[in-house]
Amino acid sequence: MSDRFTTRVLDVSTGHTETVTDLTRPCEQFLSEVAAGRDGLLNLFVPHATAGIAVIETGAGSDHDLLAALHTLLPADDRWEHRHGSPGHGRDHVLPAFVPPHATLPVLDGHLRLGTWQSVCLIDTNKDNPERQVRLSFLG
């Protein structure tokens, strides 16, 4: 594989609660190993039908606000036709339409170039699947 393109799978344990998991540090660690001061793009992809990637502020309540907003938009009740798993699990399968399973971010001089308050996060509302994978790919 070319050193211009490198990919790795990150295993993430999200547990049995709805979570916003900050992936910024693992992304930076990946880039420190593979980007070597180069410019390029970091792509994140979640190969799951019930999780997504968001670039948001964390630590100031925005992560909780996001989960609350998703509860308003996608209530965990019996309205969903997709009915296996926990009650309201059908909403988890609609989540990627609102929080996509991917993001592509700029890398300059081997580092993510996020805004001051931005973090890259895994959004997981599926209480039935506590283990996730995120594919990190650097092209540069």
Give, to the nearest 10 degrees, the angle between helix 62-73 and helix 90-98: 120
pLDDT at 84: 85
pTM recorded for the entire structure: 0.93
pLDDT at 83: 82
Q: What is the DSSP letter of 14?
A: -
Which pLDDT tens digit goes with each residue over 66-101? 999 999 999 999 899 988 888 889 999 999 999 999
19, with CB counted inside 10 A (0-12, 13-18, 19+), is buried
Please report which confidence band the pLDDT of residue 3 belongs to, taking 50, 70 and 90 as the band edges. Answer: confident
Domains of the chain: 23-129 (2.60.120.460)
pLDDT at 2: 63
